[in-house]
């Protein structure tokens, strides 16, 4: 779980800190981030999305290289090879995350808690990664596990004496760093190492704590408005008791209990949340190598209960299925990040969904939202507001930092009145002036000329 996230020169953030700590230590289980349109809510989510992608980048690079080599061997067209190697390139991604017209390094620092201990991870970059550091528990005490930086193209790396269990492994990793670091992070190189070598090799040659951190970070699920990327979907079985897809898919026969559990959860939720939905179930086709499943509902329409495939439900109802899937991960100890969770859903319905499930979150749920109704029921320690001043400087504050809030005050009303910032306050639009300009250009207001 994340305890804090610091962003410097990252997209629209010059220097901000999201403090997600619960008291003196530990992390909050639920965080709701508010702010006006364009304040940077989605940029905050993209900082976590970047972390997830950076960890997988070297593994993806190696796999793409193999595909590209196969394409060349079979005389496939050159453009296809270039597309394979260039798509979702991590260097393209970090360049898109740089603050506009800024020559300084972009730096991201992620505070986290896992295994009962807290630590932090830092990456800096310009066109390439220029700095990386991991501070965590080393076995008996806290310390720096590694620190790598580039100075005028020269790479220097410092490792904890406990990170490697022998000099041969350290020497091999140093060679990988010389070849690939800067284009990829060290965590990404270690992640590839784990996938390439067997479990016993990793156990015999590395400090296990660094891979505990990788497990935690790769378990993070990010639902991003611009992209959708889920660690729990990519890494099968994490968490193990959740289907990869709730609407339709295929599982092995021995995992039928997971399908049964998901069916019960969806039936309980939808029949309580919707007056016209009377039942929810999976149609199952038993095959030689597994079970194909598809979600259906029995729904009251025109005085008669009718069977409908879930794919024919409204976009809002289908979006709720995505939210339930995300929340199930948070119930299983995973960190779930959801950008604009309220998109296409009635405010009161979303409020009720989150209210009913809040106490069951054992992991961490971080959302961005415009749903102000939740402010009436959630703990103010879980609500954050991004504010923007007239110079475009941004600040992130938790509502418990505002002394005006007292037991009898309604945080929602205070927020809507602009007492915390983070709401659009603009003059009325002068549409007469716009129409006048259109007419002056010879364009009729009805769209003709």
pTM for this predicted structure: 0.86
> Residue with structure tokens 């495939």?
309
Q: What is the pLDDT of residue 289?
A: 83
- CA 363/CA 70 separation, integer angstroms: 42
83-101 pLDDT tens trace: 544 545 899 999 999 999 9
Given a contact cutoff of 8 angstroms between Cβ atoms, the answer to whether 119 and 112 are in contact is yes
Q: What is the pLDDT of residue 254?
A: 87
The answer to whether the bond into 239 is cis (omega within 30° of 0) is: yes
Q: What is the pLDDT of residue 96?
A: 92
Classify each residue of 271-290 as buried b or exposed e, where b means 16 or more C-beta atoms within 10 Å of its C-beta: beebeebeebbbeeeeeeeb
317-353 pLDDT tens trace: 888 888 888 888 888 888 999 998 888 788 888 888 8
Given a contact cutoff of 8 angstroms between Cβ atoms, the answer to whether 220 and 52 are in contact is yes
200-235 pLDDT tens trace: 999 999 998 999 999 899 889 888 865 444 443 333
Q: Is the pLDDT of residue 159 over 70?
A: yes
Q: What is the pLDDT of residue 79?
A: 56
Domains of the chain and CATH, by start: 1-239+332-449 (3.40.50), 243-329 (no CATH)
Mean pLDDT in residue range 48-54: 93
- CA 230/CA 314 separation, integer angstroms: 23
Q: How confident is the model at residue 446 (pLDDT cuts 50, 70, 90)?
A: low
Q: What is the pLDDT of residue 432?
A: 76
Q: What is the pLDDT of residue 140?
A: 81
Say which residue, 26 or 149, is predicted with more confidence. 149
Say which residue, 169 or 391, is predicted with more confidence. 169
């Amino acid at each position: 779980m994340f305890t804090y996230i610091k962003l410097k020169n990252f997209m629209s953030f010059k220097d901000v800190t999201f403090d997600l700590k619960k008291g003196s230590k530990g992390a909050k289980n639920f965080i709701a981030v508010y702010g006006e349109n364009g304040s940077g809510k989605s940029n905050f989510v993209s900082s976590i999305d970047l972390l997830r992608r950076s960890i997988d980048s070297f593994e993806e690079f190696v796999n793409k290289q193999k595909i590209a080599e196969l394409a060349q061997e079979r005389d496939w067209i050159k453009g296809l090879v270039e597309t394979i190697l260039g798509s979702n390139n991590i260097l393209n991604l970090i360049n898109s995350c740089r603050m506009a017209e800024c020559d300084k390094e972009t730096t991201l620092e992620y505070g986290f808690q896992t295994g009962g201990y807290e630590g932090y991870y830092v990456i800096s970059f310009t066109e390439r990664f220029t700095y990386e550091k991991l501070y965590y528990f080393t076995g008996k005490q806290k310390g720096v596990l590694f620190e790598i930086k580039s100075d005028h193209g020269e790479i220097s790396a410092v490792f904890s004496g406990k990170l490697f269990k022998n000099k041969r492994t350290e020497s091999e990793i140093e060679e990988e760093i010389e070849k690939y670091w800067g284009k990829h992070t060290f965590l990404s190189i270690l992640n590839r190492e784990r996938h390439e070598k067997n479990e016993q090799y990793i156990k015999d040659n590395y400090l296990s704590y660094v891979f505990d951190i990788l497990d935690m970070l790769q378990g993070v699920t990010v639902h991003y408005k611009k992209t959708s990327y889920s660690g729990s979907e990519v890494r099968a079985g994490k968490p193990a008791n959740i289907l990869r897809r709730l609407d339709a898919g295929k599982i092995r026969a021995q995992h039928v209990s997971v399908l049964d559990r998901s069916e019960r959860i969806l039936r309980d939720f939808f029949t309580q949340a919707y007056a016209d939905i009377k039942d929810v179930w999976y149609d199952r086709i038993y095959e030689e190598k597994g079970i194909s499943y598809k979600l259906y509902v029995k729904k009251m329409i025109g005085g008669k209960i009718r069977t409908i495939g879930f794919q024919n439900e409204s976009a809002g109802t289908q979006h709720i299925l995505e939210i339930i899937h995300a929340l199930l991960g948070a119930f299983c100890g995973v960190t779930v990040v959801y950008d604009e969770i309220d998109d296409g859903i009635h405010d009161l319905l979303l409020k009720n969904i989150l209210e009913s499930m809040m106490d069951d979150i054992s992991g961490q749920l971080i959302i961005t939202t415009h749903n102000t109704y939740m402010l009436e029921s959630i703990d103010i320690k879980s609500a954050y507001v991004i504010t923007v001043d007239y110079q475009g400087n941004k600040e992130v504050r938790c509502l418990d930092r505002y002394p005006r809030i007292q037991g009898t005050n309604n945080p929602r009303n205070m927020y809507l009145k602009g007492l915390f910032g983070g709401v659009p306050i603009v003059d009325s639009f002068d549409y007469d002036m716009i129409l006048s300009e259109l007419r002056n250009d010879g364009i009729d207001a009805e769209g003709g000329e």
